[in-house]
Structure 1
Amino acid sequence: MTILVGYSPSPEGKAAVEFGIEQARAFDDVLVVLNAGIGETPDERGVATSKDIEELKETLKSSEVSHEILQFLRGNDPVEELLALAEATTDTRMIVIGSRRRSPVGKLIMGSTAQRIILDSEVPVVSVKVDRRKKK
């Protein structure tokens, strides 16, 4: 089966990858990590740079889990890209996303990517927070 991780180059995105690795090991699943964005500007929020992708490759390689990294920058909404991939991958066990605390006003004004994924997904979604107790 497949575990799908929605990745952004942030502490939350890295926490999602770490959790995805743990789950892939536990279930002997394939880990698919997706980074998606509109792709209109090189510094678009949430879009991984080539350096971010290289770091991700090293993390996944050292984890020794079967994995694939995808980056979609084709003008579509990242949430839609993630949900479409989950639907197209018929053996998706779960979607893993990182989340951060936001104020109610922030959610109202900016919307909530995590909320959209959770509500619209056909498969279970695990929302992972950064463990602030871990020493860096």
Structure 2
Amino acid sequence: MTELTGETGPATGGGPRIVVGYSSRPEGRAALRRALTEARLRGAELVVLHGPDDDLDELTRDLAAADVTYRLKASSDAADAGEDLVELAEDTDAAFIVIGLRRRSPVGKLLLGSNAQRVLLDASCPVLAVKAEQP
């Protein structure tokens, strides 16, 4: 697994956890919005895996405004984010994982997306896949 670093934000040790894959793209923001909703509904801690190029100022503002308990984990390799999400969910005993999906071309549909496919097939917990809103 790619080393995960950068734990920040208020966090607690108990209760359910939700792992979310975040990116600054529309599908990543959609995943975060849904994960925040689920965390509030369930009183869960949110564990956010973000990439090295993501806007952390925007992310921390959104998390602080949502009034949920959270931790941030950084993935040093965005190409292996799917594997990192699966391992992070196992390490934190997550109730489920939230990922964002984007529309794909006909050829892209054959491949689904390596990260999304890896999470859907390899995760030992349920996976909630959300689509970005259409413009």
Please say whether Structure 1 and Structure 2 have the same fold, judged by a TM-score greater than 0.5: yes
- Within 2, Cα distance between the matches of 1:34 and 1:119? 18
- Within 2, Cα distance between the matches of 1:10 and 1:19? 15
User: Is 1:16 matched up with 2:53?
Assistant: no
Map residues 32-111 of structure 1 onto 2, 5 A cutoff: 32-36=47-51, 47-48=53-54, 52-73=55-76, 77-90=80-93, 92-108=94-110, 111=113
TM-score (norm 1): 0.79
Relative to 1, partners in 2 of residues 1:66 and 1:116: Cα closer, same or farther, differing over 3 Å? Answer: same
Shift of 1:63: 0.4
Q: Deviations over 1:51-109 (max 9, x none)?
A: x111000000000011111112168721111111111112x111000101113412446
Q: Which residue of 1 aligns with 2:17?
A: 2
Instruction: Count residues in correspondence.
Output: 120
User: Is 1:112 matched up with 2:114?
Assistant: yes
For the aligned residue pairs, the C-alpha RMSD in angstroms reads 2.1
Letter in 1 for 2:73: L
TM-score (norm 2): 0.80
Shift of 1:110: 7.7
Contact 2:104 2:112 (8 Å CA) reproduced: no
Letter in 1 for 2:121: L
Q: Deviations over 1:21-64 (max 9, x none)?
A: 0000000000111014xx6xxxxxxx31xxx1110000000000
Shift of 1:131: 2.4
Per mean C-alpha deviation after superposition, the further-off stretch among 106-115 and 63-72 is 106-115
- Within 2, Cα distance between the matches of 1:54 and 1:72? 17
**Structure 2 unaligned residues grouped into runs of 5+:** 1-15
Identity %: 43
Q: Which residue of 1 aligns with 2:13?
A: none
